[in-house]
Chain A
């Protein structure tokens, strides 16, 4: 079993305090999904993870980390 954590919230603030709504529209999901990702309630698909990484000009592994339990 592995747990995926992320630093999307921190990156949003580092990018001119980007709002959840703005990030959601950039990556093509709803704001609720961004909230769920930030709180760890939703593990995004690979495609969405790539889109989020590109938005912040980072690699996927810089944003999402997988920890084995």
Chain B
């Protein structure tokens, strides 16, 4: 297992742990306040210290590039679907085209989390399946 795979596992495990913490806190303090449970995910920034100086070759770059693309695509999809869904719901059921200002930070957070999770999963999948070099 190389450094990138370790970072991906660390990211997924931290999301699972923080997700459980969020689920435990939410009934007591409300979903808005319980979002603080995801703060430890930020510690993944120290993941760059894992395997410092480890060699990264063309296969790693190929996998990382595709994983980043998958993460971006998923977060973009979530972002658009969440905003459109929110707007449609508000318009259809409340007869208004105005969406609460509080929705945007939630959707941005959801999009960001989606990007991180999908990227981590794509890294792990990429190292398991057949990959072709990006001859550019």
Contact = CB atoms under 8 A, between A and B. Distances in A.
Interface of A: 28-30, 32-33, 36, 40-48
B116 to A, nearest CB: 24
Interface of B: 2, 55, 57-60, 129-135
Contact of A48 (B55, B58, B129, B130): B58
Contacts of B60: 30, 33
A43 B58 contact: no
B133 A42 contact: yes
Contacts of A44: 58-59, 133
Contacts of A29: 55, 57-59
B58 A46 contact: no
Contact of A42 (B2, B55, B59, B135): B59
9 contacts: A29-B55, A29-B57, A30-B55, A30-B59, A33-B57, A33-B58, A43-B130, A43-B132, A43-B133
Contact of B133 (A40, A41, A48): A48
A45 B135 contact: yes
Contacts of B2: 30, 32
Contact of B131 (A30, A41, A46, A47): A41
A24 to B, nearest CB: 8
